[in-house]
Chain A
Amino acid sequence: MPEVTKLIHKYLRHDKKFPHVWCPGCGIGIMLGALIRAIDRIGYDKDEVVLVSGIGCSGRLPVYVDFNTLHTTHGRALTFATGVKLAKPSLKVIVIMGDGDAVAIGGNHFIHAARRNIDVSAIILNNSIYGMTGGQYSPTTPYGMRSTTTVYSNIEQAFKISELAVTAGAVFVGRGTVYHAKLLDSLMEKAFLKQGFSVVEVIAHCHTQYGRQNRLGSAVEMMEWQRDHAIPVEKAAALKPEELKDKTVIGVLVDKDLPVYQNEYEKIRERSQVTAGR
């Protein structure tokens, strides 16, 4: 049996929930593949993995995989994940979000989960648009682009999700694109193995909404754009800011160590017992 078939049988709810809701050519499938390969390589038991999502195209991902899956409210996935992780720290908690999910409606939860250093991995699919609701502009839609709610052009500046995560204190931040599938595999593996709040931003295309409204071509053409505009972080370090203007820096942006919330809390429990015994 080919490797991919084995993975499909092992990790997908292949006999229960397919076909999926995503458009043909969507990048979410590549992200899902990378996620499953990373989990398989690390060798987590399926019972110990909790996959949490919010609302949108990305929010539908957990229903297709055979883990403990939790499809929450819009933008709030990280709050539920915080509760799951702190209540049962032995679980591996992975959160899937979209760009609107993570940095618009859930922006506050995102920065605070990073600041607290909750031991959760956040995978953010950034396709620069609200896809499921029909192509409205999101906080990551670039200036000057068109959407169904910026028909005259987007006049807002876009959020840079990875840079936001770095500033908010995430201990691991990596960015890849769905074109660079192998890089995604390794970024996710590193993120899952990292103790603390880890972020992987996945630059993806939405040819159905964003691509069509901005005449960016097919899914393949949009992935070629990802290839042509991506620059590894090692090379980017040598370039000037103006040379990086239309480039997407990919690779590991941050990998550092800070006290992890649940470990710190365990110390609090011990300290509180000493105080209570007095």
Chain B
Amino acid sequence: MRKTRKNEALLQGNEAVVEGALRAGCRFFAGYPITPATEISEILSVKLPPVGGTFIQMEDEIASLGATVGASLAGVKAMTATSGPGFSLMQENLGFAAIAEVPCVIVNVMRGGPSTGLPTFPSQGDVMQARWGTHGDHPIIVLSASTVRECYDMTITSFNFSEKFRTPVVLLIDEVVAHMREKMVVSDQEGVEIFNRIKPTVPPEWYIPYEDTPRGVPAMANFGEGYRYHVTGLTHDIRGFPTSRPDEIGPFNARLFRKINQHFSEIQMAEHYLTEDAEITVVAYGCVARSAKRAVRDAREKGIKVGLLKLITLWPFMRSAVEKVLQTSKALIVPEMNMGQISREVKRVNPGIAKVFTLNKVDGTIITPEEILTRILEVS
């Protein structure tokens, strides 16, 4: 990253992802070329070797996530990046990472779908896929970014969460954010918290690889460090061996959810903008949150009390923050570049005091501040 004396850099969202990944300690990347995420691969292929890391271009996205999970098991922080069609292929090994509790980060720079769809146009169509794309009940953490700086920060946070909770973390970025260049200020002295997985401290013969700890997250031994244990995609007992006993299957699945659920307050991130006295609250994420902020300002100038709740964590769904604005506002507007994936969740948790309005756009263009303002005027 070429910086000026003020530690400013003009970066693209995808470049910021790379800088964040390197800052977080990512030293392995496996990927497959796909628009609009390819810059992440290209830049990491240059930047990983000099820091002793590894970049490999695999034969497809299935292999990319497989290699990523393998590298993480060997003790190296690992990431892959893709877009919709590749993300579909990754669902299989995403489930493996969830059940085997292998930390890894998957960046999905969303483009229009379904199928090959719109390779160079923005969309937010993968929000539900990120939550439920792989089969079976499973917990997952999904984050979003609306600025270049957030691409950097949320990549670091994705790694931290993945290491802290031993889970795959998906970072959803809108194509326009990934390809947008804006000024980012980052200081080398800046204290960024970097979290590394907790390793076992007991002797190998005492190590229980999938132990049900109070935190819900067992200590993780890396391959080759003396703790020989079994890693499997089969439902397993606390020692990692396949099981078909209901009294082991139930508690295992319950722990997978508990390790995320009991850390909601840490995982769930949102920003409130003028929501205290807002009669109308816009709930948005990604690039739409930027348009919404402008629309909120313009509406305030017209004397309408509007606020913005920007979601950064998309999953687990930020029920508490949304419920709060559902109680304090008369109406909510949820603009999204899909047919209503988060608005569905907002409606689900609505106790009925506020009305929930949607604004959906799926024509391959962004939702503009004017469009949100128009919707605000309609609703007010």
Where the two chains meet, the residues of A that have a C-beta atom closer than 8 Å to any C-beta of B are 16-17, 46-48, 50, 52, 62-63, 66-73, 76, 78-88, 90-91, 108-109, 112, 265, 268-269, 271-273, 275-276
Alpha-carbon separation in the docked complex, A70 to B232 (Å): 6
B255 to chain A, nearest CB (A): 20
B70 touches A71 (CB 8 A): no
**Interface majority SS (helix, strand, loop, mixed), chain B:** mixed
B59 touches A112 (CB 8 A): yes
Of A16, A50, A63, A73, which one neighbours B66 at CB under 8 angstroms?
A: A73
Alpha-carbon separation in the docked complex, A84 to B223 (Å): 8
Chain B residues near A84 (CB-CB < 8 A): 70-71, 73-74, 223
Residue of A nearest to B60 (CB): A108
B56 touches A87 (CB 8 A): no
A108 touches B59 (CB 8 A): yes
Chain A residues near B296 (CB-CB < 8 A): none
Of B62, B96, B223, which one neighbours A91 at CB under 8 angstroms?
A: B223
Given A88-B75, A268-B49, does the pair A82, B66 have CB atoms closer than 8 Å? yes
A276 touches B50 (CB 8 A): yes
B58 touches A79 (CB 8 A): yes
Alpha-carbon separation in the docked complex, A228 to B197 (Å): 55
Q: Does B76 contact A (CB under 8 A)?
A: yes
Q: Does B324 contact A (CB under 8 A)?
A: no
Of the listed stretches B158-166, B167-175, B233-241, chain A binds B233-241
A269 touches B49 (CB 8 A): yes
A73 touches B74 (CB 8 A): no
Residue of B nearest to A274 (CB): B50
A82 touches B56 (CB 8 A): yes
Alpha-carbon separation in the docked complex, A29 to B143 (Å): 47
Alpha-carbon separation in the docked complex, A83 to B80 (Å): 12
Of B70, B72, B224, B241, which one neighbours A79 at CB under 8 angstroms?
A: B70
Residue of A nearest to B231 (CB): A70
Given A87-B28, A87-B75, A265-B54, does the pair A76, B228 have CB atoms closer than 8 Å? no
Given A86-B28, A108-B59, A108-B60, does the pair A79, B75 have CB atoms closer than 8 Å? no
Chain B residues near A68 (CB-CB < 8 A): 223-224, 228-229
How many A-B residue pairs have C-beta atoms within 8 angstroms? Tell me: 142
A268 to chain B, nearest CB (A): 5
Chain B residues near A63 (CB-CB < 8 A): 230, 232, 241-242
A275 to chain B, nearest CB (A): 8
Interface size on B, residues (CB 8 A): 46
Alpha-carbon separation in the docked complex, A109 to B64 (Å): 11
Chain A residues near B96 (CB-CB < 8 A): 72-73
Q: Does B92 contact A (CB under 8 A)?
A: yes
Alpha-carbon separation in the docked complex, A80 to B64 (Å): 9
Alpha-carbon separation in the docked complex, A135 to B120 (Å): 45
Alpha-carbon separation in the docked complex, A78 to B59 (Å): 11
A69 touches B231 (CB 8 A): yes
Q: Does B46 contact A (CB under 8 A)?
A: yes
B224 touches A91 (CB 8 A): yes
- Among B54, B64, B242, max chain A CB count under 10 A is at B54
Question: 1/0 per residue B36-70: CB within 8 Å of A?
Answer: 00000000001001101010101110111111111
Q: Does B343 contact A (CB under 8 A)?
A: no
Chain A residues near B73 (CB-CB < 8 A): 70, 80, 83-84
Of A46, A72, A81, A90, which one neighbours B228 at CB under 8 angstroms?
A: A46
A199 to chain B, nearest CB (A): 17
Among B158-205, those with CB < 8 Å from A are none
Q: Does B278 contact A (CB under 8 A)?
A: no
B359 to chain A, nearest CB (A): 39
A210 to chain B, nearest CB (A): 25
Given A70-B73, A80-B66, A82-B66, does the pair A17, B241 have CB atoms closer than 8 Å? yes
Chain A residues near B64 (CB-CB < 8 A): 79
B109 to chain A, nearest CB (A): 22
Chain B residues near A87 (CB-CB < 8 A): 27-28, 54, 70-72, 74-76, 78
A88 touches B50 (CB 8 A): no
Given A63-B241, A112-B63, A268-B49, does the pair A73, B233 have CB atoms closer than 8 Å? yes
Chain A residues near B223 (CB-CB < 8 A): 50, 68, 70, 84, 88, 91
Chain B residues near A109 (CB-CB < 8 A): 59, 62-63, 66
Chain A residues near B76 (CB-CB < 8 A): 87-88
Chain A residues near B266 (CB-CB < 8 A): none
Instruction: Supply 5 A–B pairs (Cβ within 8 Å), ascending by A.
Output: A70-B231, A72-B66, A79-B93, A86-B54, A91-B223
B63 touches A66 (CB 8 A): no
A116 to chain B, nearest CB (A): 8
Residue of A nearest to B28 (CB): A87
Of B59, B71, B228, which one neighbours A66 at CB under 8 angstroms?
A: B228
